[in-house]
Amino acid sequence: MNFLKNMGWTVPATLAISSTTAFADVTPEDVWALWQDYLTSSGYEVSADTSTSGNVLIVDNLTLSMDHGEDMGGFSAQMGTMTFSDNKDGTVQIGFADNMPLTMSMTDGEEPLDLAMVVSYIGLDMVASGEPTNQKYDFTADNMKLALTEVVVDGEAVENASFSMDFAGSKGTSSLAIAGDMIETMQAMTSGAITFTGAFSEPGEGSMNVSGNFADTMLSTSASLPITEEPSSDPLAMFYGGMQGTTKFTSGVSTVSLSGQDNDGPFQMDVSAASNALEFDMDSDHIRYDTGAEGIAMTMFGGGIPFPLSFEMASTSTNFEMPLSRTETPAPFALGVTFADLSVPEMLWGMVDPTGQLPHDPATVSINIGGTATLFGDLLSEDVMESDDIPGEVNTVTVENLLLRIAGAELTGAGAATLDNTDLTTFDGMPRPEGSLSLKLVGGNKLLDTLVGMGLVPEDQAMGARMMMGLFAIPTGDDQLESTLEINAEGHILANGQRIQ
């Protein structure tokens, strides 16, 4: 967990240096000074040897380190040499070695982890422009590559571990600016393709190989950090001091392959998509992310799976949002997931429906829930995380969309309710809801009859299901049932206006 957190702090800084970045004039000293402000405000302690040669500022032995305390561990990275050359036109040329060694050391209070990498560039051109406190960076590169060369865990080298990632045909722009007591950064970058490969193995445990490709990628980020004169060892202090960030990523066709060997034998998984999208934003008040992909296909076999599996899906998406800080008024939350038009091969259908009695149409599952909640404290604060008390209450819940479509039947629904958190007696310790949920089922009886005829559902269980549908739903068409379930202000439960509790 702390390893991921350390990497989370490292990525923005690494991007800021290696792919960062008009207005007026800047000098090499201006660019280096603003980078130091950004890195310090990001929580890093910066050390380097600087010298000048003519119009060039040389930054050598650059080291970034971060200490989270004895229990949380720390992080350090040695990033080699970079140059800042005055172009004599108000801009600065930023240079890196064609092959820049990068080493990282991470601790989490247990086993230290040391990584050695090489960052290499072909055809890199990066120019800084602007003003001392408001700088823009434009860059292009024929190729950028990050290659893992050594992994050491607790002093012992891991012999069989490799990973590399290539960015082909990259270009972009980014910026750093001082805005009051904040430092703001933005970046937009496109690449023709991102490819990666990796291999890992452990004697007696197994091995794994991974490779992938993302075409036509676009990445944009923005962040605001409170300016600090000294690096902070408390990420939460930075977080609640006004830090915020957003990320957007899209790609065209992508493929990912995973293969290897474990105790169950060899395994293989291949996933492809026609497009991918990710959005993420977070500040002290809330967190939100949305993901999506279209034209998905997956195949897998081995690893304990008795036969090859494959499926295709038109699209999939997830969304999540929730408040993070104490709220005086209810704040929104949301959770949703969609798997649209999921289809499996006929071979798999043949195992459960060899005579073809069921419709083999693609299936869809989709649900989106929203609402509002009130938090009594900051969720990430130490007091809340160590407390056994519930840190808030749900005020409203909305089922914005419910859809289940499979084997010729379709269930849809929507509803909303408010929760009375002062009434914990009506529903035995639960806040009393007041609202309704509307449901519609089409093709349910036909599906049930077919399953009985196939011997997959016993007749007595099917009779019980029909009795329940008759109790809670009313016919509104040919094999169509509808129901409105309601909880009123008195706590009574009604189905289609008839009280059932």
Give per-residue pLDDT as tens, 417-457. Answer: 999 999 999 998 899 999 999 999 999 999 999 999 998 89
Give per-residue pLDDT as tens, 337-354. Answer: 999 999 999 888 888 888
Sign of CA dihedral 108, 110, 114, 115: negative
Amino acid at 104: M
The region that residue 464 occupies, defined by phi over 0 for left and psi between -120 and 50 for alpha, beta otherwise, is alpha
pLDDT at res. 14: 44
pLDDT at res. 10: 43
pLDDT at res. 431: 94
pLDDT at res. 71: 55
Give Cα separations from 149 to 114, 153, 158, 162, 173 (angstroms): 11, 14, 10, 7, 29
Q: Tell which residue, 79, 31, 25, has the closest CA to residue 175.
A: 31
Alpha carbons 501 and 498: distance in angstroms, whole number: 9
The region that residue 54 occupies, defined by phi over 0 for left and psi between -120 and 50 for alpha, beta otherwise, is left
Alpha carbons 316 and 295: distance in angstroms, whole number: 9
Alpha carbons 402 and 483: distance in angstroms, whole number: 14
- Residue 500 pLDDT > 70, yes or no? yes
H or E element that contains 146: strand 134-153
The band of 235, judged by pLDDT with boundaries at 50, 70 and 90, is: low
- Range with lowest mean pLDDT among 57-66, 101-110, 142-151, 326-335: 101-110
pLDDT, mean of residues 120-148: 95
The rounded mean pLDDT for the chain is 88
The Cβ of residue 102 has, within 10 Å, a number of other Cβ atoms equal to 20
- Residue 12 pLDDT > 50, yes or no? no
- Residue 30 pLDDT > 70, yes or no? yes
The alpha carbon of residue 57 and the mean position of all alpha carbons in its chain are separated, in whole angstroms, by: 38
Of residues 334 and 155, more confidently modeled: 334
- Whether 499 and 491 have beta carbons less than 8 Å apart is answered as no
Percentage of the chain exceeding pLDDT 90:
62
- Residue 6 pLDDT > 50, yes or no? no
